[in-house]
Amino acid sequence: MNGKAIRINRLLHNGKMLCVPLDHGITISDISHLAEFKNTVSKIIENGASSIVVHKGMVRFLPPLNNTGLIVHLSASTEKYKPVYKIIVCEVTEAISLGADAVSIHINLGNEYEKLMLADFARISKDCQTFGIPLFVMMYIRNNENEDVSDIVSEKHSIRIASELGADIVKIGAKWNLDELKPVIKDALIPVVVAGGDVLDTKEFYALTSELMKSGILGVSFGRNVFMSENPEETMKNLANIIYNA
């Protein structure tokens, strides 16, 4: 087993991924739900998160992670100006020095900045290969106004692009039903996880998660639907039950 494989195992529980991204503080101006950061993270890791995603500066505020894998996010933009263009704000070597088990980047396809983000993807992928660090890539189809313009064909293409450029795990949007998603997952060359997207009604959220797990995905990467829920602790327990027993 090589270094990447060892580290990927640290991101999973029972062979599945329940990742909670907590990188929203740069992008979104009103993020009061994460004001009590340490308390929020503690509830998340104590109740089943297999991994979390944070920016480099937030690593110092983390409680002990125990069996939860650490993914350091390398991309950023704010909602104030050109949020579709994600720039690199951390390097792989920095993430390693912080104790990261993996790194993540956000790529938006279908806009005028696509080529710049793909160039960053290639460079980061090379560094990840050099240092044996897993690369978790968030792939979205967004126009210049940062609007979702995806369809199932472009989503399938985005997974292939992630595979071609060296991603180890790819994250895609969550709007696909099981009939659309299942053949895409079957053809994928690398493991796929699905994003949570907009905050949903609790029952709808659990039903969607259960349905998504039937498609053969590796797991989910849910942020706002966890830390913006009325009871993040209960939400995590219910998600862990759905995902790890799928």
- CATH code at position 184: 3.20.20.70
Which residues are marked as active site? 23, 140, 171
Number of folded domains that form the chain: 1
> What proportion of the chain, given as a percentage, has pLDDT over 70?
97
pLDDT one-digit tens code per residue, 61-86: 999 999 999 999 999 998 887 789 99
Place of tokens 């996880």: 193
Q: What's the pLDDT score for residue 200?
A: 73
pLDDT one-digit tens code per residue, 141-179: 999 999 999 999 999 999 999 999 999 999 998 777 889
pLDDT band of 124, cuts 50, 70, 90: very high
Q: How many CA atoms lie within 13 A of 82 on its CB side?
A: 8
Q: Report whether pLDDT(31) > 80.
A: no
Q: What's the pLDDT score for residue 20?
A: 96
Q: Which residues have a Cβ under 8 Å from the Cβ of 77 and sit 6 or more positions away?
A: 26, 27, 83, 84, 85, 86, 87
Q: What's the pLDDT score for residue 30?
A: 64
CB 54 within 8 A of CB 76: no
Q: Provide mean pLDDT across the span 105-115.
A: 97
Q: Report whether pLDDT(2) > 70.
A: yes
Instruction: Name beta bridge partners: 233.
Output: none
Q: Provide mean pLDDT across the span 195-200.
A: 77
Q: Provide mean pLDDT across the span 48-60.
A: 97
Q: What's the pLDDT score for residue 199?
A: 72
- Structural domain span for residue 143: 3-244
Q: Tokens standing for 188?
A: 């994928």
Please give the C-alpha separations between residue 84 and each of 73, 87, 116, 163, 210, in angstroms, as whole numbers.
Answer: 16, 10, 12, 22, 30
